[in-house]
């Protein structure tokens, strides 16, 4: 394998999942007890947590590893460094007190792994959004005491979204500390999941993008970025489809506002697409596809898109070499693989 010095850039993977054993065991208990009331969770973790297939077993084991196996997989793919974050739905399925405790414990475990492998790993802090004041404190602890580089929120929390003002302490903490919030997908919320599930469309094939793109647009239309103009948001999977919709989002939002169509859609200081270009960063997780990558670089900006693999859900070692062959200048390729991540996450 060619090393980073010879290559001229590090390959940093920016959306790489992990999970503590305790949380995965709690997922299985929730499935066994049938007390979670979330059909998307049942569909996703009923497979990855309960299935005896090789695919499910491999993923379940890889998620928990923060040492030799993960590093060997990184080496096999040619990834120099991984930014790790708690897999969906994280702690957000549990009651607020339990979720707060589990988030803190998982952050401690992640920080320990980073100390063991400081040149290979960095991480994002998990929080319990449904305990927003406590979540703000955990962001501060995670960044200032544990050295974590941002925050992970696995989209909706039991059907609630972050545009509600009760969640604003989370944004206040992120803006004050100047760290990004990665809005990672979750399966569609209970109130929207049913049409997806019969055809197994609820997760990465489509439901993830629909649910997370919706969440991001709610934040924009609610005026969150007018209230917190320095807030930094990250979207994976080449933006959950939103870059493709920039023109239509702007056009339709302008008409909704001009006609006073809804009290939930008021005038903004900028066009929705401006926030998607100025407050949001993007990763390629699960989308190592030249047309999508170059389109996002064209309509959003080459300084906004970062490489990610989406390990272990989409562990395809050869995709790194595929991305190395993208028709990008050496400068842009270095930005894509290394410099954009270094600047955003302060690596």
**Which residue numbers are catalytic?**
310
H-state helical runs in 128-188:
132-144, 168-177
- Tokens 């990004």, located at residue: 180
**Per the structure block, which two tokens stand in for 197?**
């599930």
Query: Alpha-carbon Rg of the chain, whole angstroms?
Result: 19
Q: How far apart are CA 332 and CA 321, in angstroms?
A: 16
Question: Residue 306: CB partners within 8 Å, gap ≥ 6?
Answer: 12, 14, 281, 282, 283, 284, 336, 340, 341, 344
- Tokens 């059909």, located at residue: 39
DSSP character for 243? G
How far lies 110's CA from each of 66, 83, 128, 264, in Å? 8, 11, 16, 39
């Amino acid at each position: 394998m060619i090393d980073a010095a010879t290559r001229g850039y590090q390959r940093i993977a920016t959306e790489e999942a992990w999970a503590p054993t305790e949380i995965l065991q709690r997922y299985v208990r929730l499935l066994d007890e049938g007390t979670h009331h979330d059909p998307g969770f049942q569909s996703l973790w009923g497979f990855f947590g309960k299935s005896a297939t090789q695919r499910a077993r491999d993923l379940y084991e890889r998620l928990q590893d923060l040492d030799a196996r993960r590093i060997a997989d990184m080496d096999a793919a040619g990834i120099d460094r991984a930014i790790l974050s708690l897999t969906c739905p994280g702690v957000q399925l549990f009651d607020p007190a339990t979720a707060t405790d589990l988030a803190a414990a998982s952050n401690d475990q992640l920080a320990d792994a980073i100390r063991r492998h400081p040149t290979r790993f960095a991480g994002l802090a998990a929080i319990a959004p449904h305990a927003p004041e406590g979540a703000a404190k955990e962001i501060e602890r995670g960044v200032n005491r544990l050295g974590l580089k941002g925050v992970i929120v696995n989209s909706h929390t039991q059907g609630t979204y972050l545009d509600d003002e009760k969640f604003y302490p989370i944004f206040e903490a992120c803006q004050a500390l100047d760290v990004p919030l990665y809005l990672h997908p979750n399966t569609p919320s209970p109130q929207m999941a049913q049409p997806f599930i019969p055809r197994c469309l609820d997760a990465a094939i489509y439901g993830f993008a629909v649910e997370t793109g919706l969440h991001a647009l709610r934040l924009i239309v609610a005026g969150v970025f007018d209230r917190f103009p320095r807030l930094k948001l990250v979207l994976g999977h080449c933006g959950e489809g939103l870059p493709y919709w920039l023109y239509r989002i702007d056009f339709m939002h302008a008409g909704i506002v001009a006609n006073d169509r809804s009290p939930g859609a008021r005038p903004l200081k900028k066009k929705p697409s401006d926030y998607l270009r100025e407050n949001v960063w993007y990763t390629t997780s699960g989308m190592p596809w030249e047309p999508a990558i170059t389109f996002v670089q064209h309509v959003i900006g080459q300084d906004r898109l970062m490489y990610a693999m989406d390990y272990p859900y989409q562990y395809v070692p050869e995709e790194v070499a595929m991305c190395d062959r993208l028709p990008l200048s050496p400068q842009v390729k270095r930005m894509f693989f290394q410099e954009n991540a270094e600047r955003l996450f302060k690596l």
